[in-house]
A and B are shown apart, each in its own frame.
Chain A
Amino acid sequence: MAEPILALDDLCKAYGALKVTSHVSLDVRPGEIHAVIGPNGAGKTTLIGQISGSLAPDSGRIRFDGRDVTALPMHARAHAGLLRSFQITEILPAFTARENVALALQAREGHSFRFWRNVSRDADLNARADACLAELGLEARAEVPAGTLSHGEKRALELAIAMACEPKLLLLDEPMAGTGREETDRLVEVLRALKGRYAMLLVEHDMSAVFALADRISVLVYGEIVATGTPEEIRDNPRVREAYLGEEAVA
């Protein structure tokens, strides 16, 4: 078995007496989609925050791509290839879709203390940005201000931005949140096409999407991983059914 690209080792975080992350250990192997599911309040977003670097864990280690990144700030982790998307879309609304992606490409190329050349006329940069947009079916929307894109398009743009950063791992925080059925299906197709190319940690509420995409699933309940396994194993796990799937089935 290949060395995991991401490994969480005994991660803990508490807000006062409330343990939001309790001894969480999990790993993501190269090319794998590892999904984390769990009921509301299970601590999924806090976990994403600790992996991406916007929150510091109280204890435990995070190893990424062969090194300890526990103490690295978010932007340094992004540089190392750990890219996240946001549950609530986080794009640059006044920039066009192309400019959003071009800025990510620019970040990839080291510092941006370049003051003289007009970046919007950088044909090479624009061409590469357009190529990223085309992969997600956004090529016709390149010149549109990102703020005026539809919700599903913004979701796709977030992915395009992450992909422009040449990720080694995509950390996807509920990419289907707030999208309609059709858009969800489209996004599932997009992610399926990217499967194998990037390792992904997918935190998602949409069960059909998770079971359609994931190689392995971990179930998070009250900050604790109660089970990890293949989709079949998780489906048949009685603890999981009780904690989570049961209540979903009723709803």
Chain B
Amino acid sequence: MSTQSAPARLSRELIGALIVFALFAGLPILADAMGDTFVVFFTIRIMVFAIAAVSLSLILGYGAMVSFGHAAYLGLGAYCVAILAEHGIWDVTVSLPVTLAVCGLFALVTGAISLKTRGVYFIMITLAFGQMAYYTATSLSAYGGDDGLTMWGRTEILGSTALGDRTVFYYVVLGCLLTCYLLARMIVASRFGRVLQGAKQSEMRLRAIGIDPYAYRLIAYVIAGMMAGLAGALLANAAEFVSPAYMSWHRSGELIVMVVLGGLGSLLGAIVGAASFLVLEEVLSHFTEHWRLIFGPFLVLVVLFGRGGLISLLPGGRKNG
């Protein structure tokens, strides 16, 4: 943990966040000037996964809940939007509440069971629930089964198809990322967040002062599930397609890698981690299809030498994790 005083830590994170969000905000303008549309699509993808990574960072980095089934919420959110669209319901006023409710309920039920366990058992049971969601999706033959489901358009906002515009959609996704990031930061800094972080350090201590951490963990788990569900809804809109692959356990593993790569215990780190992961994947896979052979050792180096993740390697970063 950092020995810097809280204000110093705060302002560093603030400057970092300003830079990151300024880059995101300015990118479409730059891309337009260069006439490059791929970069915009690609950055939308980065921001969507950044939302999922921020949500995982909330429970993994601050609550020590290593969920190995977090991609299930990504998929669940995506399927909610796509299935509603399949039935002709396109409006965000329906699809967003339904997505959040479904993901929240799934998190509430599976979390209530999973959080009775600790450590490796928690990892395994969240993996099991994730796989259940995955196989359920593959067996939904009415909605494409294994092949997935194409959405013939994007979510509408009160009847408007404004999201069909690439730039508008880009800024809506950015707005969602910013909202989720600020929300997560507020939660972490609140009384609730302090209980969550305290429970991570010593559950016994919390019980001894009269706090049962279970309900706090569960609520954090539900919030994270809903946030990842929102990312899923955006992902379905970005690709105009959903598939069971969104919820495979590989994807859950990748989300964990993003959080660890960026820096455990830093929400901004989760965003940086998601961006780094996807950029490296994109760039390295241009050179070789065995890009993981290069990415693997890189991840090992980051974990070994920058114990606070990429975020700690930035200038003025935490020197000793």
Q: A residues touching B (Cβ–Cβ < 8 Å)?
A: 52, 54, 73-76, 78-79, 83-84, 86, 90-95, 99, 102-104, 106-108, 112-120, 143, 145, 147-148, 161-162, 164-165
Residue pair A75, B210 in contact (C-beta under 8 Å) = yes
Taking CB atoms, residues of chain A closer than 8 Å to B207 are 54, 73-75, 78
Residue pair A95, B210 in contact (C-beta under 8 Å) = no
Q: B residues touching A (Cβ–Cβ < 8 Å)?
A: 1, 3, 5-6, 186-187, 189-195, 197-198, 201-202, 204-212, 215-216, 219
Residue pair B190, A118 in contact (C-beta under 8 Å) = yes
Residue pair B209, A107 in contact (C-beta under 8 Å) = yes
Contacts A78-B209, A113-B192, A118-B186 known; 8 new A-B pairs at CB < 8 A: A74-B207, A75-B208, A92-B198, A103-B209, A104-B209, A107-B210, A113-B219, A115-B191
Instruction: Given A115-B187, A115-B192, verify A86-B204 contact (CB < 8 Å).
Output: yes
Taking CB atoms, residues of chain A closer than 8 Å to B215 are 113
Give Cα A184–Cα B5 distance, bound, in whole angstroms.
31
Instruction: Given A115-B186, A116-B186, A147-B1, verify A90-B191 contact (CB < 8 Å).
Output: no
The list of the 9 closest CB pairs from A to B, nearest first, reads: A78-B210, A94-B1, A79-B210, A92-B201, A112-B191, A114-B191, A74-B207, A104-B209, A75-B212
Residue pair A90, B189 in contact (C-beta under 8 Å) = no
Give Cα A147–Cα B3 distance, bound, in whole angstroms.
11
Residue pair B216, A112 in contact (C-beta under 8 Å) = yes
Taking CB atoms, residues of chain B closer than 8 Å to A74 are 207-208
Taking CB atoms, residues of chain B closer than 8 Å to A104 are 209
Residue pair A118, B189 in contact (C-beta under 8 Å) = yes
Residue pair A119, B189 in contact (C-beta under 8 Å) = yes
Residue pair A99, B210 in contact (C-beta under 8 Å) = no
The A-B contact count (CB < 8 A) is: 103
Residue pair A161, B202 in contact (C-beta under 8 Å) = no
Taking CB atoms, residues of chain A closer than 8 Å to B219 are 113
Taking CB atoms, residues of chain A closer than 8 Å to B208 are 52, 74-75, 78, 83-84, 86, 90
Closest to A93 in B: B201
7 CB contacts below 8 A, A to B, read A75-B208, A75-B212, A91-B202, A92-B202, A95-B198, A115-B191, A161-B209
Taking CB atoms, residues of chain B closer than 8 Å to A162 are 209
Taking CB atoms, residues of chain B closer than 8 Å to A113 are 192, 215-216, 219
Give Cα A135–Cα B65 distance, bound, in whole angstroms.
36
Taking CB atoms, residues of chain B closer than 8 Å to A79 are 210
Give Cα A54–Cα B197 distance, bound, in whole angstroms.
22
Taking CB atoms, residues of chain A closer than 8 Å to B197 are 94-95
Residue pair B210, A165 in contact (C-beta under 8 Å) = yes
Taking CB atoms, residues of chain A closer than 8 Å to B187 are 115
Residue pair B202, A103 in contact (C-beta under 8 Å) = no
From residue B59, how far is it (CB to closest CB) to chain A in Å? 15
Give Cα A73–Cα B206 distance, bound, in whole angstroms.
12
Taking CB atoms, residues of chain A closer than 8 Å to B198 are 92, 95, 103
Taking CB atoms, residues of chain A closer than 8 Å to B202 are 90-92
Residue pair B3, A119 in contact (C-beta under 8 Å) = no
From residue B75, how far is it (CB to closest CB) to chain A in Å? 27
Q: Which of B189, B201, B207 has the most CB of A within 10 A?
A: B207
Give Cα A58–Cα B142 distance, bound, in whole angstroms.
56
Instruction: Given A86-B204, A92-B202, A93-B201, verify A119-B209 contact (CB < 8 Å).
Output: no
From residue A77, how far is it (CB to closest CB) to chain B in Å? 8
Residue pair A120, B209 in contact (C-beta under 8 Å) = no
Give Cα A203–Cα B252 distance, bound, in whole angstroms.
48
Give Cα A119–Cα B207 distance, bound, in whole angstroms.
20
Give Cα A119–Cα B208 distance, bound, in whole angstroms.
21
Taking CB atoms, residues of chain B closer than 8 Å to A108 are 210
Q: Which of A83, A107, A117 has the most CB of B within 10 A?
A: A107
Instruction: Given A99-B194, A103-B194, verify A75-B211 contact (CB < 8 Å).
Output: yes
Instruction: Given A90-B205, A103-B198, A145-B1, verify A114-B192 contact (CB < 8 Å).
Output: yes
From residue B104, how far is it (CB to closest CB) to chain A in Å? 15
Give Cα A246–Cα B212 distance, bound, in whole angstroms.
44
Residue pair B1, A117 in contact (C-beta under 8 Å) = no
* Set B190, B204, B212: member contacting A115, Cβ < 8 A: B190
Give Cα A138–Cα B317 distance, bound, in whole angstroms.
29
Give Cα A180–Cα B302 distance, bound, in whole angstroms.
41
Taking CB atoms, residues of chain B closer than 8 Å to A161 are 205, 209
Give Cα A148–Cα B2 distance, bound, in whole angstroms.
11
Residue pair A117, B194 in contact (C-beta under 8 Å) = no
Instruction: Given A106-B194, A112-B195, A119-B194, verify A90-B209 contact (CB < 8 Å).
Output: no
From residue A141, how far is it (CB to closest CB) to chain B in Å? 13
Give Cα A125–Cα B308 distance, bound, in whole angstroms.
30
Closest to B210 in A: A78
Residue pair A73, B209 in contact (C-beta under 8 Å) = no
Give Cα A84–Cα B209 distance, bound, in whole angstroms.
8
Residue pair B211, A112 in contact (C-beta under 8 Å) = yes
Instruction: Given A78-B210, A95-B198, A148-B3, verify A112-B204 contact (CB < 8 Å).
Output: no
Closest to B187 in A: A115
Taking CB atoms, residues of chain B closer than 8 Å to A92 are 198, 201-202, 205
Give Cα A93–Cα B212 distance, bound, in whole angstroms.
19
Residue pair B212, A73 in contact (C-beta under 8 Å) = yes
